[in-house]
Amino acid sequence: MAGYLGRVRSQMYDRIIRVNHAGELGADRIYFGQMLALRRKYPEKAAVIQKMWDQEKAHLDKFEYLAGKHRARKSVLVPIWQFGAFGLGFIPALLGPNAAMAVTEAVEKVIVEHYDSQLRELMADDPKVNEDMIKTISQFRDDEQHHHDCALEHDAKLAPGYQLLSSAVENICKVAVKVAEKI
Ligand SMILES: [Fe+2]
Ligand SMILES: [Fe+2]
């Protein structure tokens, strides 16, 4: 029984770590792309983005560490997540900081929902056994919520083509999450 439960739980950790590692790697590349596009022309917005970026780097480091600790298999699509996320950061940011903030708002909205659903799953499995992972994910969830709110405060909604941009980004992120959980 314990063997079976242990196996099911280790599959859950494998999936959770793989998708979160891919997601945090993507977040790191998004902010890198935004900085590249905005740093020179918009130093004040770049300072705001830099703060969020620094937190993403810490998130990524943690999931790098957890992938080693739990021997989780990383996504085979890591190069695609890196390249795609860079484009998602860089290209809309060429339209200006509001478009960059609209991307951030949409991405973080999906990630907060994603982390919330993992937290529900971990609680339902065993809050005590999963305590460390729950702590990590809830802290990151709060950071992502803060990034989301920060993007709204920095005029995400004033981006050109806001509705189209934000629903496109949301859909891309939802598909990426589904894929990165599996492969
Ligand atoms: Fe993050
Ligand atoms: Fe974030």
C-alpha of residue 58 to centroid of ligand 1, in Å: 8
Residues 6 or more apart whose CB falls under 8 angstroms from that of 139 comprise: none
pLDDT in tens, 149-171: 999 999 999 999 999 999 999 99
From 183, 182, 180, select the one nearest 85 (Cα to Cα): 180
**Ligand at shortest distance from the CA of 62:** 1
Whether 98 and 158 have beta carbons less than 8 Å apart is answered as: yes
Rounded mean pLDDT, 171-178: 94
64 burial (CB, 10 Å; 0-12 / 13-18 / 19+) is middle
Query: Distance between CA 125 and CA 102 in Å, rounded?
Result: 35
Whether 61 and 3 have beta carbons less than 8 Å apart is answered as: no
Query: Distance between CA 62 and CA 57 in Å, rounded?
Result: 9
C-alpha of residue 175 to centroid of ligand 2, in Å: 18
C-alpha of residue 72 to centroid of ligand 2, in Å: 22
Please report the pLDDT score of residue 6 as a whole number.
83
Give the structural domain span for 142.
Answer: 2-182
Please report the pLDDT score of residue 2 as a whole number.
62
C-alpha of residue 49 to centroid of ligand 2, in Å: 10
C-alpha of residue 108 to centroid of ligand 2, in Å: 6
From 88, 100, 104, 178, select the one nearest 145 (Cα to Cα): 104
pLDDT in tens, 33-51: 999 999 999 999 999 999 9
Please report the pLDDT score of residue 34 as a whole number.
98
Whether 119 and 134 have beta carbons less than 8 Å apart is answered as: yes
C-alpha of residue 11 to centroid of ligand 2, in Å: 25
Query: Distance between CA 64 and CA 181 in Å, rounded?
Result: 16
Number of domains in the chain: 1
Q: What CATH number did the domain enclosing 48 receive?
A: 1.20.1260
pLDDT in tens, 55-114: 999 999 999 999 999 999 999 899 999 999 999 999 999 999 999 999 999 999 999 999
Give 156's DSSP letter. Answer: G
C-alpha of residue 86 to centroid of ligand 2, in Å: 14
Query: Distance between CA 38 and CA 16 in Å, rounded?
Result: 33
From 39, 56, 49, select the one nearest 156 (Cα to Cα): 49
Query: Distance between CA 148 and CA 102 in Å, rounded?
Result: 9
Residue 1: is its pLDDT beyond 80? no
